[in-house]
C-alpha cells in the first residue's frame, strides 16, 4: 500500500551511450536566489554570514567533472528499461500515471546500463530492478527526514526482516514483496560471501537512515564532519558498489575484498559520487529547504560564499579522483582478473552516474518544486 503523502516525496540518496570524457554540471539557481533561500532557513540552521547583497547575482560557476577513462553503455539498456517498468507495475510500486511518467523520464534502467555496461542481460535486469526499488523506498521513507511518518519504521524494518529472515510479513508494506523478489534472485546468483557483503551494506544504510533522522531532529546547526560520517552510508552507494562483481560475473574473493587499498578505492568512489551529487543537486536541495543534507551548503553555513563553497567541494572531488587513480595503479600491479574487473567497475560507476545525470533532458525531471525523485 502506498503512503498517503506520495506526491510530496523527495530523495535522500546520493545515487550511457555517451563516451565523452566531459559532462558539465548544470546550474539550478543564481547565487543570489540560492543564498536568499538558505538565509530564509536561519531559524533552523546555522546563519550564513554573507548577506544577499554581498553575493554574486549572475549565477554560480559549476565544475566540469572529468574522468581520464572512457564511458560505456550496455546495448541491453532499452530492453532492461522496459522490463523494469513492467516489474515495478507488477509489484504495485507505481500508484498512478503521473508517477509512472516521472519514473519513465528518470530512466533508471539506463543508469544501470551505464554503471554496469558489460553485465549479462539477466544480471543487468536484476540490478536495474534493484536501483528502481531502492530509489522509490529511499524517496518515500528516508529522503525527507523532517517528515518522518508512521510508515517509516515499519518499512525500514521490513527491509531488515527480508534480509535476515527471508520472508515477508502477514501484511506486506510498500515495496516488501518486490524486495523479497530481489533478494531471492540475488541469493540464487551470488556466492554466500557476495550476498553477505551486500546485505551488510543494506543494514548499514537502514541504520544510518535512522541516525540521520535522529540527527535532523536534535541538531539545530549542521556540522560538516557529522554530515560526512552519516552520508558515508546513508548516501546509499555502498550496496550498489557491492553489485559490481555480481554484474561482472567474477566474484571478488574475500581476501581481495578485505585488502586495505581495495577498501580505500571504495571510499574514494563513495566520496566522489556523493560530493558530485551534492554539487549537482544544490539547487534542488535549496528549493526543497533541505540544505542540511548538502555538503556545499554546509560550507556556506561556515561563512563561505556559495561560489567558494562550490569551489571547495569541487577541489575535494578532484583530489579524490587523483587519489583513486594513484591507489588503483598500485592495486592493479598484483590484481587478478576479478579484482581488475572490479576496479574497472568502480570507474564505470563514477562515469556512468555522471553521464546518466548529463543525459537527463536539462535535468528537469529532478528540479521541480514538487519533485518526487532525486538522483543519488
In terms of Cα–Cα distance, which of 224, 241, 240 is closest to 316? Answer: 224
Q: What is the pLDDT of residues 129-173, one digit of tens each?
A: 999 999 888 877 766 555 666 677 888 889 999 999 988 888 898
Q: Which residue has the higher pLDDT, 278 or 328?
A: 328
Cα–Cα dist 197/275, whole Å = 24
Q: Which residue has the higher pLDDT, 220 or 240?
A: 240
Q: What is the pLDDT of residues 24-66, one digit of tens each?
A: 333 333 444 444 433 333 333 333 333 322 333 346 777 778 8
Round the average pLDDT of the chain to a whole number and report it: 77
- As a whole number, mean pLDDT of residues 221-240 equals 71
Q: What is the pLDDT of residues 293-323, one digit of tens each?
A: 677 877 877 788 888 888 898 999 999 999 9
- As a whole number, mean pLDDT of residues 339-363 equals 86
Element of type H or E holding 317: helix 306-332
Cα–Cα dist 365/87, whole Å = 21
Q: What is the pLDDT of residues 180-194, one digit of tens each?
A: 999 999 999 999 999
Tell me the domains of the chain and their CATH numbers.
17-366 (1.10.600.10)
In terms of Cα–Cα distance, which of 1, 152, 111, 157 is closest to 354? Answer: 111
Confidence of residue 219 (pLDDT cuts 50, 70, 90): low
Confidence of residue 10 (pLDDT cuts 50, 70, 90): very low
- How many degrees, rounded to 5, is the angle at CA 267 between CA 143 and CA 111? 55
Q: Which residue has the higher pLDDT, 73 or 372?
A: 73
Identity of the highest mean pLDDT range in 220-234, 243-257, 355-369: 243-257
The pLDDT of residue 62 is 75
Cα–Cα dist 168/191, whole Å = 23
- As a whole number, mean pLDDT of residues 92-120 equals 91
> Cβ distance 310 to 282 under 8 Å?
yes
Cα–Cα dist 315/338, whole Å = 32
CA atoms within 13 A on the CB side of 281: 32
The pLDDT of residue 146 is 55
Q: What percent of the chain has pLDDT over 70?
A: 69
Cα–Cα dist 178/229, whole Å = 30
Cα–Cα dist 25/96, whole Å = 31
User: What is the CB neighbour count within 10 angstroms for residue 102?
Assistant: 17
Confidence of residue 99 (pLDDT cuts 50, 70, 90): confident
- As a whole number, mean pLDDT of residues 254-283 equals 90
223-227, 275-279, 368-372 — which is least confidently predicted? 368-372
Cα–Cα dist 275/267, whole Å = 12
Q: For residue 67, what are the CA distances in angstroms to 261, 281, 298, 321, 325?
A: 20, 20, 26, 8, 10
- As a whole number, mean pLDDT of residues 79-99 equals 92
The total number of residues written for the chain in this structure: 376
The pLDDT of residue 293 is 65
Supply 210's cell numbers: 535512522
The pLDDT of residue 143 is 61
Amino acid at each position: 500500500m502506498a503512503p498517503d503523502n506520495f506526491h510530496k516525496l523527495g530523495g535522500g540518496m546520493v545515487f550511457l551511450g555517451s563516451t565523452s570524457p566531459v559532462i558539465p554540471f548544470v546550474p539550478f539557481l543564481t547565487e543570489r536566489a540560492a543564498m536568499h533561500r538558505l538565509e530564509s532557513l536561519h531559524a533552523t540552521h546555522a546563519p550564513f554570514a554573507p548577506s544577499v547583497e554581498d553575493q554574486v547575482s549572475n549565477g554560480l560557476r559549476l565544475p566540469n567533472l572529468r574522468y581520464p577513462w572512457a564511458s560505456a553503455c550496455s546495448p541491453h539498456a532499452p530492453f532492461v528499461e522496459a522490463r523494469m517498468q513492467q516489474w515495478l507495475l507488477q509489484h504495485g510500486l507505481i500508484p498512478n500515471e503521473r508517477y509512472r511518467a516521472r519514473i519513465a523520464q528518470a530512466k533508471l534502467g539506463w543508469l544501470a546500463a551505464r554503471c554496469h555496461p558489460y553485465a549479462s542481460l539477466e544480471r543487468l535486469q536484476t540490478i536495474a530492478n534493484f536501483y528502481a526499488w531502492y530509489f522509490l523506498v529511499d524517496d518515500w521513507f528516508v529522503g525527507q527526514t523532517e517528515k518522518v511518518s508512521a510508515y517509516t519504521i515499519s518499512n525500514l524494518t521490513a527491509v531488515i526482516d527480508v534480509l535476515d529472515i527471508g520472508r515477508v510479513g502477514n501484511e506486506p508494506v510498500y515495496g516488501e514483496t518486490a524486495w523479497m523478489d530481489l533478494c531471492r534472485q540475488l541469493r540464487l546468483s551470488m556466492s554466500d560471501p557476495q550476498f553477505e557483503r551486500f546485505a551488510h551494506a543494506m543494514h548499514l544504510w537502514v541504520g544510518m537512515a535512522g541516525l540521520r533522522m535522529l540527527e535532523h531532529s536534535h541538531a539545530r546547526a549542521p556540522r560538516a564532519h557529522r554530515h560526512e560520517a552519516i552520508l558515508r552510508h546513508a548516501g546509499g552507494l555502498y550496496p550498489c558498489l557491492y553489485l559490481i562483481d555480481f554484474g561482472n560475473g567474477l566474484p571478488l574473493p574475500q581476501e581481495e575484498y578485505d585488502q586495505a587499498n581495495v577498501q580505500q578505492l571504495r571510499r574514494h568512489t563513495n566520496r566522489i559520487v556523493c560530493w558530485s551529487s551534492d554539487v549537482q543537486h544544490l539547487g534542488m536541495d535549496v528549493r526543497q529547504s533541505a540544505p542540511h543534507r548538502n555538503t556545499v551548503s554546509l560550507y556556506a553555513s561556515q561563512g563561505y560564499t556559495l561560489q567558494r563553497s562550490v569551489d571547495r567541494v569541487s577541489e575535494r572531488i578532484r583530489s579524490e579522483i587523483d587519489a583513486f587513480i594513484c591507489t588503483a595503479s598500485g592495486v592493479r600491479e598484483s590484481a587478478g582478473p576479478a579484482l581488475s574487473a572490479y576496479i574497472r567497475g568502480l570507474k564505470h560507476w563514477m562515469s556512468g552516474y555522471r553521464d546518466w545525470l548529463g543525459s537527463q533532458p536539462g535535468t528537469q525531471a529532478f528540479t521541480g518544486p514538487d519533485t518526487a525523485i532525486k538522483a543519488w
